[in-house]
Amino acid sequence: MPAKSMRQQVEEYVLALQDEIVSSFEALDPNAPSFKRDFWTRAQGGSGQSCVFALPASDDDAPAPQSILEKAGVNISLVHGTLPPAAIKQMRADHTSMPLPENPQGGLPFFAAGLSLVVHPRNPNAPTIHANYRYFEITEPTNGEPDAEPKLLAWWFGGGSDLTPSYLIEEDAVHFHSTLKTACDAHGTVLFPAFKKWCDEYFYIPHRAECRGVGGIFFDDLNEGPHLRLADAEKRPRTPDEIFALMKTLGNAFVPSYLPILSRRHAMPYTPLQRRWQLIRRGRYVEFNLVVDRGTKFGLMTPGARIESILMSLPETARWEYMTELGAEGTEEGKLMQVLKTPKEWV
């Protein structure tokens, strides 16, 4: 029996991980409606499944609903097709360590598999979470020979997970980071410090001069070649199997990194002011995703992209106040602002 290709292995893994993650949220809140499971196909090749949580909108003045989550999306996509020359040019710029051809006539075949999730809980004491695990391949054109095994030109893994609280609860930030550090350390101690730093740099809103949240990990371009952010001599995963093993450890760490936090925060009492602050922070989340995030911008510009799956990361509601007085020094809101302005090492 031939060994499974990396494509197949990643596909099987993200499918199982999606199911595990969605089931964990459903088990935590058995009285809430289930996630809506939306299977979709992409005309240009591939398919996916978006699992989405939202309460049915109430069109009367009934009291606010009481589910743990307010809005959540856990999406997997398994897509393939042809990368047009302009996209390859962009990829060459974003992934400088990749040996991509400079001017491929007619583009190049690609394959991408990944899981991406954003969960916005209702309680302002429970942080928003984002995670993403992805595998990308670019191959030589097969020139119409359907059974030919396409030659790999480039492949890499990327991913990460970061926490965005409205109120800073230090033990939650510590729990989250130490779970991720343990997962990373099993594959080389050089990983966590590099990925934590990358996360603080990536999830940064320049026009606000603040980070989106309290960090986590972020990485991209991980393959067997030299890596711009990882010293070459260090022990770290390099082969496809080794990096896939890291991806699985991180994916499996998602539930233990976040569900305990959500469990102890979702029922805490909160005030209308705290809710208002949470909605202002969600406005910042929208600003990051729409103005800054390369992944979202790339998605929105991709012809045939499934817009509803890309934008399911947006909160149900967000709020903008001109010169809000909330967030001042010496307040609970100001305590959060301080770590967003100056990222901290939590472990």
Q: What residues line the site for a second copy (CB under 8 A)?
A: 36, 38, 50, 52, 54, 57-61, 71, 73, 206-208, 271-273, 276, 279, 283, 286-287, 290-291, 297, 300-301, 305, 307-308, 311-312, 314-323
Catalytic residue status for 130: yes
Of the residues 130, 175, 187, 227, only one is catalytic, namely 130
- Phi and psi at 188, nearest 5°, equal 130, 125
Which two structure tokens, joined as six digits, stand for 163? 């926490």
Q: Provide the minimum distance between the beta carbon of 143 and a second copy in the complex, in angstroms, as a whole number.
A: 33
When the beta carbons of 89 and 297 are compared against a second copy, the nearer one is 297
When the beta carbons of 28 and 290 are compared against a second copy, the nearer one is 290
Q: Is 4 helix (H, G, I), strand (E, B) or coil?
A: coil
Q: Provide the minimum distance between the beta carbon of 120 and a second copy in the complex, in angstroms, as a whole number.
A: 10
When the beta carbons of 148 and 273 are compared against a second copy, the nearer one is 273
When the beta carbons of 311 and 347 are compared against a second copy, the nearer one is 311
Residues pairing with 215 in the sheet: 163
When the beta carbons of 50 and 257 are compared against a second copy, the nearer one is 50
Pseudo-torsion of CA 110, 312, 191, 9, nearest 10°? -50
Rounded CA-CA distance 124/114 in Å is 29
Long-range contacts of 139-145 (CB under 8 A, 24+ apart): 139/108, 139/109, 139/110, 139/111, 140/108, 140/109, 141/106, 141/108, 141/109, 142/109
Contact 145, 194 (CB under 8 A): no
Q: Provide the minimum distance between the beta carbon of 132 and a second copy in the complex, in angstroms, as a whole number.
A: 18
The CA-to-CA distance between both ends of the chain, in Å, stands at 45
Rounded CA-CA distance 298/109 in Å is 17
Q: Which residues of 301-324 are buried (b: 16+ CB within 10 A; e: fewer)?
A: ebeebbeebbebbbbeebbeeeee
Catalytic sites, residue numbers? 130
